[in-house]
Chains A and B, each alone.
Chain A
């Protein structure tokens, strides 16, 4: 039994309301997401991510509320495995949805150029690599001018090299188009890089939703403990040290040095700092190999299991998370309001 609706009231938010009961699984979602940017849908395998997408698209049978058939919903779907039509060449594939749609918000040539398909148009889908095929699938969906695009782990079937090759295209999608996207992933890295907004799903229910930075800094979500715990901060390139090949990136709480060169014209760079890469000192550490030491105030402390404690630090207007042992937390008597020095062992640059 299902009951559902994805409605677009006004232009600022999209309401997702879906209930579906199966033998040993229940999906029950009632949440609003922004009608712009990329919303990540993050959860473990079997948490209901794909089922929720299929409900939104109308691909799950037996719906009660939204009776519109799939093809009239105007919702594009990018499957994990690119679904191209083998009997059509790339050009006809990307024209398939466009010919069946009355909306024409998306410019064909812009999409072809943006996804790097110019040289592929006359090819048969058979000869494409996984990454190329996924780009063609994404172009097909864009050219249908959907009101909402659902992407179900579009990178999951690709190897790391292909992933790295496709990710910049997804960044451009985000920057150049105004169509809202729901992006399913079980990789917190992908979500951190691409999304503006985050939904966390567990056992068919949305357990957290909100702006990406805010959701990632929550301590009360079990899904975000352990290796998934970590914050993102947006930083600005300041200076490049040629001798050691390090760039200084400034965020609200200080300056972080990262390997590589970041041009000043790149307005902001998104950095992810995993909680397990942050350790804490009560005094400014001396004689350490750690480059990045940020002075911060403890904002919240939470024991997440018998041996680990997650600490949230306020640094400027940003948050950092630190994963420490319960024993250390007890020994140093960490509590909200304390001034500490966070040693950041590694920073990954997301874009």
Chain B
């Protein structure tokens, strides 16, 4: 990522895209079993799990960032272990940002998936089972394809939400060009230094991107529901 620091706009943009992409992929992988469990369980711990997953929506990003900084820092539980194993710190690194983003955007992946799974007709899955599919088989061959709208929603929201994060990144990642200087930080920086022209360009880019992504999501959903 060394070259990324050279251009004031391109570098942060690329870094943001990379961060959002990696986070989205990880969140779909983590979110899928978690959302499935939440949609199927009758455990009395379900409300507790739901509350924990939803917390990042309510908490100020600075609070989340503060705790993550403590946890991931060289003296924190995870951070100190990471330093022992790899010799480098998690905070103020791209990997640290990925972990923080996964926590921060978790509800945006889990909730669309969970509602999609909950909307599945129970008998259709039972039918798959009586047709010879194991639980895992029925999940991947029936539940997942029938919930594709949920997956699109989860991917779009995770990606967009990660792209727009600011507070958590600032707390955990700081502002290191090419490593943690994502586009939202770069915009803030430009404004601080009165470089309104760069701020304009980057903001407009994000604005257009957000619109195009949301528009295509709604168009896809409309197509699928009309089929």
Give chain A's interface residues, CB within 8 Å of chain B: 57, 59, 69-71, 73, 75-77, 79, 81, 83-87, 96-97, 100-101, 124, 126, 137, 140-141, 144
Contact = CB atoms under 8 A, between A and B. Distances in A.
B131 interface: yes
Chain B: interface size category: 20 to 34
Given A75-B130, A87-B145, A96-B131, 11 more contacts: A57-B130, A69-B129, A71-B133, A71-B138, A77-B127, A85-B128, A85-B142, A85-B146, A87-B146, A97-B132, A101-B132
Contacts of B6: none
B195 interface: no
Contacts of B132: 71, 97, 100-101, 144
Contacts, number: 64
A137 B124 CA distance: 11
B124 A59 contact: no
A124 B134 contact: no
Interface string B122-152: 0110111111111101100110011010000
A73 B142 CA distance: 20
B137 A100 contact: yes
A179 to B, nearest CB: 14
Given A59-B126, A77-B126, A83-B123, A141 B131 contact: yes
A79 B121 CA distance: 12
Contacts of B128: 85, 96
Which of A85, A124, A137 gathers the greatest number of chain B CB atoms within 10 Å? A85
A86 B121 CA distance: 11
Contacts of B124: 83-85
Contacts of A144: 131-132
Q: Which of A57, A77, A126 counts the most B-chain CB atoms under 10 A from its CB?
A: A77
Which 3 A-B pairs rank lowest in CB-CB distance, beginning with the nearest? A100-B132, A97-B131, A83-B127
Contacts of B44: none
A142 to B, nearest CB: 11
Contact of A59 (B130, B135, B146, B227): B130
B226 to A, nearest CB: 10
A161 B160 CA distance: 52
Contacts of B123: 79, 81, 83
